[in-house]
Amino acid sequence: MSILVTGGTGYIGSHTSVELLKSGEDIIILDNLVNSQIDMVDKIKKISGKDLKFYNVNLLEKSEVDKIFKENNITEVIHFAGLKAVGESVKKPIEYYSNNLIGTLNLLEIMKKYDCKKIVFSSSATVYGKPKTVPIKEDFPLSTTNPYGTTKLMIEQILKDLYASDNEWSIIILRYFNPIGAHESGLIGENPNGIPNNLMPYINQVAIGKLDYLKVFGNDYDTPDGTGVRDYIHVVDLSLGHLKAIERVRKSNGIEIYNLGTGKGYSVLEMIQAFEKINNVKVNYKIVERRQGDIATCYADPNKAKLELGWEAKKTLEDMCRDGWKFTKNLNEQN
Ligand code: WQD
């Protein structure tokens, strides 16, 4: 009996794989390594002290995915695999729709063929678009402003229609807010290819000297200090949310959606100050114009996950800043 983790060598996938193994689960990772490295498999084994099967497979290769189900007794799937850079998706919509949608449809078709009807799907707060108020609840209106976000919204709709067609499915959709930080070992963390899009990897690379300064995208938003406010959540807290989702998906059929956030928002300047204070480093920055598509404020109401999954984020902003920095320093020493 195994859990198939698609995208299991990625940032959130690798941290979730570690927590699944530590909790005694048997997992199989499927990943095409388009945005991760093969040595992540050994790191996951090292941290957890457990073994696992890895398949270097692309979900677009249907026959290869079929072979994995034929060779193993897969009872649940956690589906992380997908392209996820907002800016890149605007430039390459066909690649994003093809990879994220066709890959997911292939996976679901093969799951159905092997009567594996329990899935946890990695979605994103980006499906809320520009929320009218905060904190954000799961029943808020949905809208997207980029192809990446639209693929998440479309896959959520596919899953809703799938359950409506066959109530034997057990589906949980998890909407992540802003995952940051790293495993306390410092062995795994967020290591984006090229120049980081997201705030915290960028701050880390400025602090370590790889980048000169952080561009703060606008300080004229309607927020306490004018810079963007987001719900930053420790990637290990986020990973533990998946273990609770697996527990729930095993218990009952149905389709449920949960926000995974802390319920607290921090501004860009607050993040810079916290990171500098906790790690005793300097982060040079300049205020520049707003980034297109950004919103002022976004943070979760995580109460549904607390009530129904028995999950809540426990790690602090200090943990997030300290653990992320430890990983960055380790990575820098290796290179
Ligand atoms: C956070 C804040 C920026 C970089 C994105 C995706 C979302 C999800 C998480 C996948 C904002 C500011 C950032 C920089 C800055 N990804 N910023 N300078 O945009 O909230 O969410 O990542 O699911 O789908 O949209 O995260 O880290 O890019 O930005 O000032 O160099 O930091 O304006 O206020 P975002 P982010």
* pLDDT confidence tier of residue 210, bands split at 50, 70 and 90: very high
How far apart are the C-alpha atoms of 74 and 52, rounded to whole Å?
A: 13
When computed from its CA atoms, the radius of gyration of the chain, rounded to whole angstroms, is 19
Q: Quick one: which of 26, 163, 3, 166 has its CA closest to 75?
A: 3
Does the pTM surpass 0.95? The reply is yes
Residue nearest atom 14 in ligand 1 by C-alpha distance: 199
Q: Among the options 11, 128, 148, 232, which is catalytic?
A: 148
For residue 118, give the H/E element and its range. Answer: strand 118-124
Q: What is the pLDDT of residues 10-60, one digit of tens each?
A: 999 999 999 999 999 999 999 999 989 899 999 999 999 999 999 999 999
Residue 168 tokens read as 């034997």
Structural domains present in the chain: 2-180+232-262 (3.40.50.720)
How far apart are the C-alpha atoms of 329 and 208, rounded to whole Å?
A: 7
For residue 303 and ligand 1, the question of a CB distance below 6 A is answered with: no
Residue nearest atom 34 in ligand 1 by C-alpha distance: 228
Q: What is the pLDDT of residues 141-182, one digit of tens each?
A: 999 989 999 999 999 999 999 999 999 999 999 999 999 999
Q: Report the separation in Å between the CA atom of 199 and the middle of ligand 1, taken as the mean of its atom positions.
A: 6
For residue 143 and ligand 1, the question of a CB distance below 6 A is answered with: no
| Position in ligand 1 atom list of the atom nearest CA 146 | 25
| Contact between 258 and 245 (Cβ < 8 Å) | yes
**Known catalytic residue at 148:** yes
How far apart are the C-alpha atoms of 257 and 279, rounded to whole Å?
A: 36
Q: Report the separation in Å between the CA atom of 190 and the middle of ligand 1, taken as the mean of its atom positions.
A: 14
How far apart are the C-alpha atoms of 69 and 197, rounded to whole Å?
A: 35
Residue 197 tokens read as 């899009």
| Contact between 28 and 67 (Cβ < 8 Å) | no
C-alpha distances (whole Å) from 80 to each of 2, 212, 260 are 16, 32, 15
